[in-house]
Amino acid sequence: MSALPAAATPTDPAAERNDFIRQIVRDDLASGKHAAIRTRFPPEPNGYLHIGHAKAICLDFGVAREFGGVCNLRFDDTNPAKEDPEYVAAIQDDVRWLGFDWAELRHASDYFGVFYLAAEKLVRDGHAFVCDLSAEQVREYRGTLTEPGRNSPFRGRSVEENLDLLRRMRAGEFADGARTLRAKIDMASGNINLRDPALYRIKKVAHQNTGDAWPIYPMYDFAHSLSDAIEGITHSLCTLEFEDHRPLYDWCVDKVDLAGNPDLLGPLAQAGLPNMAAKPRQIEFSRLFLNYNITSKRKLIALVSEGLVDGWDDPRMNTLQGLRRRGFTPASLRLFVERLGISKQNSVTDYGQLEAAVRDDLDAKAPRRLAVVDPIKLTITNLDDAYHETLRFSNHPKNPEMGERDVPFSNTLWIDRDDFFEVPPKGFHRLSPGAEVRLRGVGIVRCDEIVKNGERVVELRCTLDASTRPGGTGADRKVKGTIHWVCAKHAVEAEIRLYDRLFAVADPDDDSDGKTYKDHINPDSRRIVTGYVEPAAAQAQPEDRMQFERTGYFVADRRDHTGARPVFNRIVSLRDTWASKVGG
């Protein structure tokens, strides 16, 4: 595994970032509480990562990087029925794509032996018992937010009986769901998470890492807290929904006390894993809620499994794989997260902020190219049919270091249909009968004649004012409109996929009107058209990004694009068009 980048220096902008989590880390280092920082990113491999995970990744790995520490990637693989190696591979790919790497790759399943010994210790110490209540009965006994729960009738079992039953659970003697191991805490607690929560359940499902070795699996709160302790995590960063779980997290760490009971760590040595046992601190921060989006894994899985989208990397999906295929850059996602900041207050972020981040990132680095999305033919009648010229265009108007390229020009061009109106509306300054417009890099043309096929205009016949060509005597003559074009004789036909927001409403999860998120899928979230691009655009490699002048930012599709059959995805338009749609 490659090493993590060096810690931020005082001159590095990262060193100046400040939020309550980074301040805690600074204070802990300054006080000597920790000699080094250790964090972790602990995804469950039961689906693909989405935009919300980008915030957690940037924080977990970013804090470690900024303060000279390390961050582990640890898969919380305690529910094998929903896990898949496909998700494991995709998660690793996503983390690296975002620009991070991990100190160590771990799995909760690496510690199953430790978890089990810890469970036996809790039983011996009188802190856990085996319960025969069904899941439905457990819910009945749990109580409510205003009423205390009731003790399980099995709570008074002796240590010897509990140990015997736990070991028989471990041996696979009982059926799925027949028994659970529960913590013995307080059924009257105001925090429902402390009302004797389950620590182990019987689930006879093969595991991707451990096979059929375990017929019982630890619950999330138990496994997560002890995994952090095993790895010596100093700051366990979680989203706000885990705030009410923190007392249980601390209970598990304190009652098991791995640092004080090294005999529990024997399975680590047998597996060749280091023992970093320490007491971690859980700190919660706000989740990323983005309007026009959903982040429920269950709902994202439904979109894929029901064919409502074209897989996990559909460019309309907010999965990191989907955002990558759409053309979003890792730098734009990191910029987006940095602009959001870290707080303790949940709020909804406007999708336009994500789009603004990618615009800001690509504006400086994306080369410019000519492309026509909805073509209409333009013929320059005072140039011969054999006329051909090679023009030189800059790759970026603000960055001469990006160089220049050759752009072919002839008397037949493609222009965008939006640049012509037979009866122009007020304020329209592009082509119409008798009107003049400047062709980008060429000169001024006048529309003399239109050719129709039925009611549809199929060709514009125009005259070029040769004096307005670059270097000509009339080059400075002013007209109000400038439009782009591609040379019809040399343009390359391309499939252009015009992507937009997957949902047409700001809150797809709002079912107060009787509709579900599926009913709010935007019918215009994808349009596929055939357009034309200049040769330099067609030569792009998959995942090359560029600005189609006056149209938007596009990327050569990472799956389907080839030089012989170009395929471009629209990343984002040049301006936010949704504000006007919703009256903003």
| pLDDT tens digit sequence for 112-161 | 999 999 999 999 999 999 999 999 999 999 999 999 999 999 999 999 99
261 assigned binding-site residue: no
Beta bridge partners of 180: 131, 201
Q: Which residue among 428, 460, 484 closes a domain?
A: 484
Q: Is 327 annotated as a binding residue?
A: no
Report if residue 177 sits inside a domain: no
Alpha carbon distance 307, 523 (integer Å): 14
151 domain-assigned: no
Determine the length of the chain.
584
CB of 85 closer than 8 Å to CB of 206: no
Q: Are residues 497 and 520 in the same domain?
A: yes
Q: Residues 396, 467: one domain?
A: yes
State whether 308 and 354 are in the same domain. Answer: yes
Range of the domain at 453: 371-484
| pLDDT at residue number 124 | 98
CATH of the domain at 446: 2.40.240.10
Q: What are the b/e assignments for 180-205, b being 16+ CB within 10 Å?
A: bbbbbbebebeeebbbbbbbbbbbee
Q: Which residues are catalytic?
A: 44, 287, 297
Low-confidence residues in the chain, pLDDT < 50: 1-14, 584
User: What are the structure tokens assigned to 31, written together?
Assistant: 């006080």
Q: What angle do CA 523, 574, 337 make, to 5 degrees?
A: 85
Q: For the chain, how are helix, strand and coil distributed in percent, rounded to 5?
A: 30, 25, 45
**pLDDT at position 581:** 65
Task: Specify the pLDDT at position 580.
Answer: 58
Report the alpha-carbon distance of residue 185 to residue 222 in Å, rounded: 14
Q: Is 514 annotated as a binding residue?
A: no
Its pTM stands at 0.93
What's the domain count of the chain?
2
Q: Is 45 annotated as a binding residue?
A: yes
Domain C-terminal end among 454, 484, 514 = 484
Task: Write out the DSSP string of 15-56.
Answer: GG---HHHHHHHHHHHHTS-SS-EEEE---SSS--BHHHHHH
Same domain, 480 and 405: yes
Tens-digit pLDDT profile for residues 278-335: 899 999 999 999 999 999 999 999 999 999 999 999 999 999 999 999 999 999 999 9
Asked if 445 and 523 sit in the same domain, the reply is no
207 annotated ligand binder = no
**Residue 354 marked as a ligand binder:** no
Alpha carbon distance 520, 517 (integer Å): 5
Within a domain: 398: yes
Q: Are 296 and 511 spatial neighbours (Cβ–Cβ below 8 Å)? A: no
CA distance 120 to 216: 13
287 is in an annotated binding site: yes
Q: Are residues 473 and 497 in the same domain?
A: no
Instruction: Tell me which of 441, 466, 484 is where a domain ends.
Output: 484
Residues 298/318, Cβ–Cβ less than 8 Å: no
361 and 377, same structural domain?
A: no
- Is the residue at 381 inside a domain? yes
Taking the C-alpha atoms of residue 181 and residue 218, their distance in angstroms, rounded to an integer, is 9
| CA pair distance 98, 43, nearest whole angstrom | 15
504 in a labelled binding site: no
Tell me: is residue 220 an annotated ligand-binding position.
yes
Question: In terms of C-beta density within 10 A (0-12 exposed, 13-18 middle, 19 or more buried), how is residue 424 classed?
Answer: middle
